[in-house]
Chain A
Amino acid sequence: MSRRLNEDVIKSLLLVCAFFSMIIIFLIIIFLFKEGLEAFTYTNVFDFLTGTEWVPKNNIYGAAPFIISSLFVTAGAIIIAVPIGILTAIFMAEIAPSSVREIVKPAIELLAGIPSVIYGLFGLIIIVKYIRITLDIPSGETILAGSVILAIMILPTIISISEDAIRQVPRAYKEGSCALGATHWESIRRIIVPSASSGIMASIILGVGRAIGETMAVVLVVGNVEKIPTSFFDAGEPLTSTILLEMGEAAVGSAHYHSIFALGIFLFVIVMILNIASNFWLGRGVRHG
């Protein structure tokens, strides 16, 4: 009897632990919206998202420069990281001898483990400088620098998820293709990669989510100019940078404070949508036929 009771108590305790992540997500939503929605009593949603000026001292809050900077930096990162990431994933799943794999796999995990602020330091000293000298522009602190650093940071995500997806393709597909006289590359190109396309898609979407939400690495290299960038060689200020840079100076409860949280809501919603989309693609598994 007491044994049974004991077990029930423990079970309900563990149940709370299991749903703890959900509880935190709910709390995050509640507090983000509680602080952020207030901003829309000063600025309506449409003006907030499309306004091109952000001048807290005059209570003007238009987030377009930040949103466009975020899109720019992320797009650049994806353009660089996707080909390298997918090719490396194919290498890991199809080509690499196991001795090579045993070195490369932990190296990629390590790449994921390096703190983002160190990427920022590296980017500021090496990549920013390199861009300034090679392109001969006054400052190397550009969208491009942010994209390169983000590309490196999201490589592990793209590689590991794509590799898993490629590994899940049944061996028989490849064997059938090779038996019909296709070369290994032709089998990879026409059979294996298309079959794994859902998982590869999931990895890219997750990479987009990581890139758009990354803060520390980007803030040190993009220049942080509150202007709409028009090319990869302009400076910009993504959403995350603004939140980081302005939280310290905004008085709690002020319009500025609420507007920063409103940027947070926008970022949160985008990342949520990307995560759910990625989950959906992962759930589709291997494509047959």
Chain B
Amino acid sequence: MDRHTKDKLMKGILWASAILTIAVLLIIIGFIVVKGSPAISWEFLTTKPLRSGRLGGIYPAIIGTIYLAGMAVIVATPIGVGGALFLTEFTREGKITKAIRFGADTLNGIPSIIFGLFGFSFLVFYLGLGISILSGGLTLAFMILPTIFRASEEAIRAVPIWDKEGSYALGASKLQTIWKVVMPQSVSGIVTGIILGLGRAAGETAPIIFTAAILNPVLPKSIMQPTMALPAHLYTLTSEGISMENAFGTALVLIVMVLIFNFAVSIIRKKKSIRR
């Protein structure tokens, strides 16, 4: 084959593989939307499931997922941002920063089912927190910590050095500089990390099945009680073959949540790049 024909052919294959990747995404989303939308109604979103989810809605699961993901973010954000501040403002590049980053990367790579086992043996049993929103929320917090930490680090590192030096030159202390100069400029990047973490926490199933989720459709009254959750409910409906229609409805609600989070992230990023 002629070299230039081959060049064209290979470029065609490269285009094809990218198109295939996008097609897979569109098929999955399209499929969930088409199959899920018949189940969606105001009632589906606002009432309790009946007969283990065969009938009725998913209200307690929506509330439970909001509690769990919210708790995960509330716990993981201060730790992640704090760690990122230490890494960028209080230490020099070297062995310590390497160790910190290695820790975050390693934690990020641990499979979610291992977090489930850990949450069960450490939080539920050893600390005696029981199957509860607290146990599930903390387990999810550990999982999403690296996401928030890494996004915060990137955002804080992007703050120009001259802004900080200007602040010091005016006699501000380190803490004042962090609070008044560094944080305001990095807040949108940190929020991006928080939203990404929120999306991940909302969709995780394996860790909460061992630590927080129940099938009983009662609304939790405190964080010491267990709760329903969207991904766990979806898993039960699917694996037990209870109701495929309601499973798709639940999947649609979950995927819309993820789409909203992703959309929010891209808007924040776009705004930021325009301002620069």
Interface string of B200-211 (1 = CB under 8 A from A): 101111100110
With A118-B255, A119-B28 known to touch, is A185 a contact of B11 (CB < 8 Å)?
yes
The answer to whether B244 and A31 touch across the interface, beta carbons within 8 angstroms, is no
Could you say which residues of chain B place their CB within 8 Å of the CB of A27? Answer: 118, 122
Tell me the bound Cα distance from A247 to B209 in angstroms.
10
The answer to whether A267 and B251 touch across the interface, beta carbons within 8 angstroms, is no
| In the complex, B50 has a CB within 8 A of chain A | no
| In the complex, B83 has a CB within 8 A of chain A | yes
B252-267 residues at the A interface, CB under 8 angstroms: 254-255, 258-259, 261-262, 266
Tell me the bound Cα distance from A210 to B31 in angstroms.
25
Shortest beta-carbon distance from A13 to chain B in Å: 7
Given A32-B114, A188-B10, 13 more pairs with CB closer than 8 A: A17-B82, A88-B14, A88-B20, A90-B14, A110-B25, A113-B203, A115-B202, A118-B234, A184-B11, A261-B117, A264-B114, A267-B111, A275-B105
Could you say which residues of chain A place their CB within 8 Å of the CB of B84? Answer: 18
* A268 interface neighbour in B20, B114, B202, Cβ under 8 Å: B114
Tell me the bound Cα distance from A115 to B173 in angstroms.
44
* B100 interface neighbour in A21, A213, A275, Cβ under 8 Å: A21
* Pairs across A and B, CB under 8 Å, 19 listed: A18-B82, A21-B104, A24-B107, A28-B110, A84-B17, A104-B18, A106-B266, A107-B25, A115-B205, A115-B254, A118-B255, A119-B28, A121-B251, A215-B205, A216-B206, A240-B111, A264-B113, A264-B114, A271-B110
A-B CB contacts (within 8 Å), total count: 259
| 9 closest residue pairs by CB, A with B | A213-B111, A115-B203, A17-B82, A14-B86, A87-B17, A21-B103, A18-B83, A183-B7, A22-B103
Could you say which residues of chain B place their CB within 8 Å of the CB of A110? Answer: 25, 258-259, 262
Shortest beta-carbon distance from A79 to chain B in Å: 15
Could you say which residues of chain A place their CB within 8 Å of the CB of B3? Answer: 183, 186
Could you say which residues of chain B place their CB within 8 Å of the CB of A7? Answer: 173-175
Where the two chains meet, the residues of A that have a C-beta atom closer than 8 Å to any C-beta of B are 3, 6-7, 10-11, 13-22, 24-25, 27-28, 31-32, 34-35, 83-84, 87-88, 90-92, 94-96, 100, 103-104, 106-111, 113-122, 124-126, 152, 155, 159, 183-186, 188-189, 206, 209-210, 212-216, 219-220, 240, 243-244, 247, 252, 260-261, 264, 267-268, 271-272, 274-276, 279
Interface string of B68-87 (1 = CB under 8 A from A): 00000000001111111111
Could you say which residues of chain A place their CB within 8 Å of the CB of B106? Answer: 21, 25, 272, 275-276
Could you say which residues of chain A place their CB within 8 Å of the CB of B6? Answer: 183, 185
| In the complex, B168 has a CB within 8 A of chain A | no
| In the complex, B187 has a CB within 8 A of chain A | no
* A84 interface neighbour in B7, B21, B259, Cβ under 8 Å: B21
Could you say which residues of chain A place their CB within 8 Å of the CB of B122? Answer: 27, 31
The answer to whether A14 and B32 touch across the interface, beta carbons within 8 angstroms, is no
* B203 interface neighbour in A28, A117, A274, Cβ under 8 Å: A117
The answer to whether A247 and B120 touch across the interface, beta carbons within 8 angstroms, is yes
* A17 interface neighbour in B86, B117, B204, B231, Cβ under 8 Å: B86
Could you say which residues of chain A place their CB within 8 Å of the CB of B238? Answer: 117, 120-121, 124, 220
With A21-B100, A117-B235, A118-B254 known to touch, is A185 a contact of B10 (CB < 8 Å)?
yes
Could you say which residues of chain A place their CB within 8 Å of the CB of B118? Answer: 27-28, 31-32
Tell me the bound Cα distance from A7 to B90 in angstroms.
10
The answer to whether A14 and B111 touch across the interface, beta carbons within 8 angstroms, is no
Tell me the bound Cα distance from A185 to B9 in angstroms.
9
* B205 interface neighbour in A92, A95, A117, Cβ under 8 Å: A117
Tell me the bound Cα distance from A135 to B107 in angstroms.
40
| In the complex, B170 has a CB within 8 A of chain A | no
The answer to whether A25 and B114 touch across the interface, beta carbons within 8 angstroms, is no
Tell me the bound Cα distance from A183 to B258 in angstroms.
42
The answer to whether B111 and A126 touch across the interface, beta carbons within 8 angstroms, is no
Could you say which residues of chain A place their CB within 8 Å of the CB of B90? Answer: 11, 14-15
| In the complex, B13 has a CB within 8 A of chain A | yes
| In the complex, B42 has a CB within 8 A of chain A | no
The answer to whether A267 and B261 touch across the interface, beta carbons within 8 angstroms, is no
The answer to whether A261 and B255 touch across the interface, beta carbons within 8 angstroms, is no
Interface string of B162-196 (1 = CB under 8 A from A): 00000000000111000000000000000000001
Tell me the bound Cα distance from A212 to B110 in angstroms.
11
| In the complex, B149 has a CB within 8 A of chain A | yes
Could you say which residues of chain A place their CB within 8 Å of the CB of B209? Answer: 244, 247
Could you say which residues of chain B place their CB within 8 Å of the CB of A274? Answer: 109
The answer to whether A22 and B99 touch across the interface, beta carbons within 8 angstroms, is yes
Could you say which residues of chain A place their CB within 8 Å of the CB of B15? Answer: 91, 95
Shortest beta-carbon distance from A221 to chain B in Å: 10
